[in-house]
């Protein structure tokens, strides 16, 4: 019985899909943090190359992927679409569950899809160094990988607490030639100010963003790179959904009933769902579902408003669901889902009823992850396990209702560098929520 649907290399998408023209209502513009007037290309130019700023504001539906980016993506793309038959059997469900396996990339997640594109557009405009922040290290390692293949330097500000507690992704970053700096650091004014007040500061994502942005803004050869939230990041991730659509057809499916992704800033979710937005617009009977942790319930409990992207209030304001830029989420294991806001594109879909959002407590998420590992074999990242939970619940609901539901979810990354979280769950050291 076939369980893996593999596209040949020459069927990899050669253009990204821009969902902005198909959204239910026009996207509100980002606002300048000082003047609160709409931010133009010049406001973003100190941090990003014009190639990416153009994509951020693009109105055309398709944008060609540069040839050299395609060549690098072909190292692991197209990724497999897998039918989770053993999980279906264990659940006793009539539903068919498919997942798009983004864990096969060199960094083990979907993040290199945009890291490679971002590094390439920066290099094309003469930038030799990218700065960024990372929490647990998924984004920092993806960007280090991309920079190494394009001969660029990568400077990663890593939250000091993670730097000390999670050494493996730091080692991965350094293996790919990235420089990893525990944040707060003495390299920036922002970092020095924090250290002066508290020499033992454990750091935070907000502080690390401030340091990375300051370095990029004050040095000519450096730009800043963000791994989620922005329109161009979601654009680069649409290869996921574009491939999945073709693979579902290969599997003989003429429809999909529900498409699911975990949501931290919205990039893997956007990647798998945005190519289905035109179907939604045409009235297809299809549900798009965002899954978030109950402890950081941005879409399910946040307010819809303009807010800053960072804690310090230095970035442009984006219209989104937000818990407030000063919201400090508890230290749950799905570090990649601890963000106070979400991508404006995703928020627009939720706001207008084209996408649903659900939130799960951590214990329920790990139960699903373990069930997946013990039936399908592979160990999902804690972030990915949120999508696994929702897919299982959809399959159980289909069983209850006697429906042959077709379920697609994004397997955004593997959990082999997150085994300490599994250890905590298996030995009762994990909080339920
Ligand atoms: C970073 C990450 C996420 C969350 O980020 P999004 O931008 O919301 O996709 C989810 N899964 C994995 C494996 C990640 O590394």
Q: How confident is the model at residue 405 (pLDDT cuts 50, 70, 90)?
A: very high
Decide: helix, strand or coil at residue 271: helix
Instruction: Give the mean pLDDT of 359-372.
Output: 97
Decide: helix, strand or coil at residue 367: helix
Return the number of other C-beta atoms located less than 10 Å from residue 246's C-beta.
Answer: 16
Rounded-to-integer distance, Cα 382 and Cα 380, Å: 6
Q: Where are the domains of the chain?
A: 4-10+67-108+237-426
pLDDT at 432: 65
Task: Extract the tokens encoding 160.
Answer: 């000091």
CATH topology of domain 4-10+67-108+237-426: Rossmann fold (3.40.50)
Give me the residue label for tokens 């971002």: 118
Burial, 377: exposed, middle or buried (Cβ in 10 Å; 0-12, 13-18, 19+)?
A: exposed
Q: How confident is the model at residue 335 (pLDDT cuts 50, 70, 90)?
A: confident
Distance from residue 100's CA to the centre of ligand 1 (Å): 14
**Do residues 408 and 256 lie in contact, with contact meaning Cβ atoms separated by under 8 Å?**
yes
Rounded-to-integer distance, Cα 425 and Cα 93, Å: 26
Instruction: Give the mean pLDDT of 338-367.
Output: 96
Task: Extract the tokens encoding 385.
Answer: 């396990």
* Residue owning the nearest CA to atom 7 of ligand 1: 267
pLDDT at 414 over 90: yes
Give 201's DSSP letter: -
How, if at all, do strands 287-293 and 179-183 pair?
unpaired
pLDDT at 417: 95
Query: What pTM value is reported for the model?
Result: 0.97
Instruction: Give the mean pLDDT of 73-84.
Output: 98
Distance from residue 335's CA to the centre of ligand 1 (Å): 9
**Best of 262, 263, 274, 382 to mutate for ligand 1, by most ligand atoms within 8 A of CB?**
262
Rg (CA), the chain: 20
Task: Extract the tokens encoding 416.
Answer: 């082999």
Q: For residue 157, what are the contacts with CB-CB under 8 A and spacing of at least 6?
A: 131, 132, 133, 134, 181, 183, 185, 208, 209, 211, 212
* Residue owning the nearest CA to atom 2 of ligand 1: 336
The overall average pLDDT reported for the chain is 95
Q: What is the number of alpha carbons within 13 Å of residue 95 lying toward its C-beta? A: 27
What atom in ligand 1 is closest to the CA of residue 414?
Answer: 13
Residue 318: beta bridge partners?
A: 307
What atom in ligand 1 is closest to the CA of residue 102?
Answer: 13
* Residue owning the nearest CA to atom 10 of ligand 1: 383
Instruction: Give the mean pLDDT of 61-72.
Output: 98
- pLDDT tens digits, one per residue of 131-142: 999 988 999 999
Instruction: Give the mean pLDDT of 307-312.
Output: 84
DSSP strand E in 74-219: where? 81-83, 96-101, 129-134, 153-159, 179-183
pLDDT at 135: 86
Residue 303: beta bridge partners?
A: 322
- pLDDT tens digits, one per residue of 338-351: 888 999 999 999 99
- Rounded to the nearest 10 degrees, the angle between the axes of helix 382-401 and helix 362-376 is 80
Q: How confident is the model at residue 151 (pLDDT cuts 50, 70, 90)?
A: very high
Instruction: Give the mean pLDDT of 177-195.
Output: 95
* Residue owning the nearest CA to atom 1 of ligand 1: 336
What atom in ligand 1 is closest to the CA of residue 270?
Answer: 9
- pLDDT tens digits, one per residue of 259-292: 999 999 999 999 999 999 999 999 999 999 999 9
Rounded-to-integer distance, Cα 50 and Cα 48, Å: 7
Task: Extract the tokens encoding 123.
Answer: 């290099």
pLDDT at 394: 98
Distance from residue 27's CA to the centre of ligand 1 (Å): 23
Which residues are near ligand 1 (CB < 6 Å)?
Answer: 109, 111, 138, 228, 262-269, 336-337, 381, 383-384, 412-413
Instruction: Give the mean pLDDT of 180-188.
Output: 96
pLDDT at 422 over 70: yes
Nearest to 416 by CA among 107, 133, 79: 107
Rounded-to-integer distance, Cα 90 and Cα 355, Å: 28
**Best of 99, 101, 111, 382 to mutate for ligand 1, by most ligand atoms within 8 A of CB?**
111
Decide: helix, strand or coil at residue 387: helix
pLDDT at 286: 97
* Residue owning the nearest CA to atom 13 of ligand 1: 413
Burial, 4: exposed, middle or buried (Cβ in 10 Å; 0-12, 13-18, 19+)?
A: exposed
pLDDT at 343: 97
């Amino acid at each position: 019985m076939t369980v893996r649907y593999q596209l040949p290399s020459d069927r990899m998408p050669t253009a990204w899909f821009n969902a902005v023209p198909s959204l239910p209502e026009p996207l509100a513009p980002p606002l300048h943090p000082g003047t609160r007037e709409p931010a133009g290309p010049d406001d973003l130019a100190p941090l990003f190359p014009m190639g990416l700023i153009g994509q951020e504001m693009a109105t055309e539906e398709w944008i060609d992927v540069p040839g050299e980016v395609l060549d690098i993506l072909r190292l692991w793309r197209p990724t497999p679409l897998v039918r989770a038959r053993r999980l279906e059997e264990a659940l006793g469900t009539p539903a068919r569950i498919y997942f798009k396996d983004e864990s096969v990339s060199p960094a083990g997640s979907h993040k290199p899809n945009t890291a490679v594109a971002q590094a390439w557009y920066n290099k094309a405009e003469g930038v030799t160094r990218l700065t960024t922040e990372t929490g647990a290290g998924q984004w920092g390692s993806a960007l280090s990988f991309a920079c190494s293949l394009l001969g660029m330097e990568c400077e990663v500000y890593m939250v000091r607490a993670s730097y000390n507690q999670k050494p493996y992704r730091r080692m991965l970053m350094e293996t790919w030639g990235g420089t990893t700096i525990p944040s707060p650091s003495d390299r920036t004014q922002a970092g020095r100010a924090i250290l002066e007040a508290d020499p033992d500061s454990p750091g935070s994502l907000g502080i690390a963003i401030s340091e990375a942005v300051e370095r990029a803004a004050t040095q000519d050869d450096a730009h800043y790179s963000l791994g989620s939230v922005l329109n161009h990041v979601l654009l680069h991730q649409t290869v996921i959904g574009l491939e999945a659509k073709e693979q579902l057809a290969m599997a003989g499916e003429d429809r999909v009933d529900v498409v699911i992704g975990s949501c931290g800033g919205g990039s893997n979710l956007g990647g798998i769902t945005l190519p289905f937005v035109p179907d939604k617009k045409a009235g297809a009977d299809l549900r798009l579902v965002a899954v978030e942790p109950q402890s950081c319930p941005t879409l399910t409990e946040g307010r819809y408003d303009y807010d800053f992207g960072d804690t310090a209030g230095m970035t442009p304001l984006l219209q989104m669901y937000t818990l407030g830029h000063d919201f400090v989420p508890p230290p749950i294991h799905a570090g990649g889902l601890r963000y106070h806001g979400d991508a404006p594109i995703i928020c627009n879909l939720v706001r207008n009823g084209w996408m649903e959002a659900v939130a799960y407590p951590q214990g329920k998420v790990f139960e699903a992850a373990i069930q997946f590992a013990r039936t399908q074999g592979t160990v999902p990242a804690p972030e990915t396990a949120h999508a696994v939970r929702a897919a299982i619940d959809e399959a159980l609901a289909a069983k209850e209702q006697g429906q042959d539901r077709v379920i697609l979810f994004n397997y955004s990354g593997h959990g082999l560098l997150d085994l300490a979280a599994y250890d905590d769950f298996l030995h009762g050291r994990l909080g339920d929520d």
